[in-house]
């Protein structure tokens, strides 16, 4: 039996204009966008990859996230989707989590960070530094400093690519563009093989198209180069894609939320 297991989850979903996911395309079409996160059970310690939406959104999304006038969309989150509840489903307590890997520090990827106070949070140094002083309005609104809790949580910034456990299983790959210090995760499972957890380097399957950008991009040129880098990994290793915001992700892989995959 494998000692490494991957558990994918959805934190919440949004109803957005298609043009938010694919700029200039599908204007006026309302679509569902997921917010996924995941857990890797590893012999060296459990790893959570992103933490989704803040659990306060269950009862008061406007307070936890902002209103539809302030933000592009408002999350629809149900009780039981919060990090602690989902961890319990797979037999883990918050104290069992050794690392949290944040692909970047936007609110839909760090909302559950404070639920894991004993973990070490791994992000890119560029991202950590930028989050405190973003320079353009579309980025300012995305970094919830209160939820990031830099003063109380233990962050461990890294510089560039990083093999989390030194065994090639959880490889952090720097993929800037969506944000200055974005990183994706190349997960190598013992039976299924390679899965690319794109974060927001590639939001949905539609964003695999070289001519298509998402609606929030810090630097388009870097985004395109990072996407090409992940496409190269995909081609070289025959990898599967695990997208953050594509509602078809689970079905395309034949997976269910919270399932166990090796």
Map out the domains of the chain with their CATH numbers.
Answer: 5-253 (3.60.15.10)
What is the rounded average pLDDT of the residues 225-244? Answer: 98
Q: Are 53 and 63 in contact (CB under 8 A)?
A: no
Query: What is the arrangement of strands in the sheet containing 162-163, beginning at the earlier edge strand?
Result: 162-163, 170-174, 183-189, 193-197, 240-242
Half-sphere exposure of 227 (CA within 13 A, CB side): 25
Query: What percent of the chain stands above pLDDT 90?
Result: 95
Count of CB atoms situated within 10 Å of the CB of 75: 25
Angle at 194 between CA 42 and CA 47, to 5 degrees: 25
This prediction has a pTM of: 0.97
Compute how many other C-beta atoms are within 10 angstroms of the C-beta atom of residue 235. 9
- What tens digit of pLDDT does each residue of 133-192 get? 999 988 999 999 999 999 999 999 999 999 999 999 999 999 999 999 999 999 999 999
Residue 262 near residue 191 (C-beta atoms within 8 A): yes
């Amino acid at each position: 039996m494998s000692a490494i297991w991957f558990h994918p989850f959805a934190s919440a979903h949004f109803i957005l204009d298609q043009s938010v996911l694919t700029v200039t395309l599908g204007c006026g079409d309302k679509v569902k966008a997921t917010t996924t996160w995941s857990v890797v059970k590893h012999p060296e310690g459990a790893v959570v990859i992103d933490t989704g939406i803040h659990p306060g959104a269950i009862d008061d999304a406007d307070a936890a996230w902002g209103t539809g006038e302030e933000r592009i969309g408002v999350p629809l989150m149900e009780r039981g989707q919060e990090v602690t509840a989902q961890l319990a489903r797979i037999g883990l307590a918050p104290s069992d989590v050794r690392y949290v890997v944040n692909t970047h520090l936007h609110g839909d990827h760090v909302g559950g960070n404070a639920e894991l106070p004993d973990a070490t949070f791994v992000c890119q140094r560029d991202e950590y530094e930028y989050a405190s002083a973003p320079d353009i309005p579309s980025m300012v609104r995305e970094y919830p400093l209160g939820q990031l809790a830099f003063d109380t949580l233990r962050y461990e910034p890294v510089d560039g690519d990083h093999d989390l456990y030194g065994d090639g299983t959880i490889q952090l790959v720097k993929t800037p563009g969506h944000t200055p210090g974005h990183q994706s995760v190349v997960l190598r499972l013992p039976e299924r093989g390679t899965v690319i957890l794109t974060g927001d380097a590639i939001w949905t399957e539609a964003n695999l198209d070289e001519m298509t950008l998402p609606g929030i991009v810090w630097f388009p040129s870097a985004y395109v180069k990072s996407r090409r880098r992940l496409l190269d990994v995909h081609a070289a290793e025959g990898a599967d894609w695990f997208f953050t915001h594509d509602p078809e992700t689970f079905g395309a892989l034949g997976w269910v939320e919270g399932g166990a995959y090796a």
